[in-house]
Amino acid sequence: MALQPLLRLLLRPAPTPPPPTRRTPHLPAPFSTRRGTAAALLLLAVAAPPPRPARAEPDGEDDVDEPHVVRLFEEATPSVVFIKDLLVAPPPRTRGRDGGGAQPVDDEEGGATVEGTGSGFVWDSLGHIVTNYHVVAKLAGDGSESHRCKVFLEDSTGTSYSKEGRLIGYDPTYDLAVLKVDVDGDRLRPALLGTSQGLRVGQSCFAIGNPLGYEHTLTTGVVSGLGREIPSPNGRVIRGAIQTDAAINAGNSGGPLIDSYGHVIGVNTATFTRKGSGISSGVNFAIPIDTVVRSVPNLIVYGTDVSNRFY
């Protein structure tokens, strides 16, 4: 009888094992990363507006460069002067018996004849004005004609006034000259001088002057070329000239060529004109400011450049 419980225990069927738990398979890391990236990009595409093409169509907004150019002009203009070359007593040979052949007389200049106009800029607070030699060349004549120079300036308040300009130095080789006006230093705004070293073709530049007698005119362009050679008034070659497409016409000569920071990088000097038209062809030249900086102190102190002092 004792064997029956033992036999029932041995013959009892084994319990059924529980079914295995189904686990979510782990995806490979690369697939998981790609899926997360795709989801992030989709979210960004929905949240952000599509990118606008750069200046593809005007949308009514102001050009971001325009206020900068306006500010450059307003800050640089008080440093730019208008120069008139006046013939006080024309020699008798220039007039016929009936007065024919005489230049028109400007009543505003006390009956003097305006022989030419040009531009310049204030060099320092002592009243020195830098311009081109060919603008004031007649002041350096032999005295057979009585010329004088009138310089029109503007103070910091925008008030225009004029002063007599005296030629104190000139250098025909580089087409540079220095005038002196007697003005209190606090009424002068010397130009900000830059450097022509490191200029690059394509960078923006601006010419301010008085073309055809229109005072304080701004033209814009780029540096078109560097290291050009142009003729000087005495027949020599000015090397290293800056070429620009900023319009330069008669009356611009002697005015500053400035960069995007308002610094003078050159003195506007010459332009090639379309034959028979007198209109600028877009090929214009300026004397590099580094050349001007080397020459002007000698013109102020000695009246001539070092290279011409002992001729």
Catalytic residue from among 134, 147, 224, 245 = 134
Q: Are strands 280-288 and 176-180 parallel, antiparallel or unpaired?
A: unpaired
Our answer to whether residue 245 is catalytic in this structure is no
From the list 143, 156, 222, the residue with the least C-alpha distance to 187 is 156
Catalytic residue from among 85, 175, 245, 259 = 175
Neighbours of 44 (CB within 10 A): 9
From the list 287, 260, 125, 119, the residue with the least C-alpha distance to 191 is 125
Residue with the two structure tokens 């800029």 = 121
Output the CA torsion sign for 279, 282, 283, 285. positive
Neighbours of 133 (CB within 10 A): 26
Cα–Cα separations (whole angstroms), residue 32 to 43, 46, 197, 269: 17, 22, 57, 69
- The CA distance from 152 to 10, in Å, is 128
**DSSP per residue, 104-164:** PB-GGGTT-EEEEEEEEEE-STT-EEEE-HHHHGGGGS-SSSEEEEEEEEE-TTS-EEEEE
Our answer to whether residue 280 is catalytic in this structure is no
Our answer to whether residue 175 is catalytic in this structure is yes
Catalytic residue from among 79, 224, 253, 295 = 253
Residues known to be catalytic: 134, 175, 253
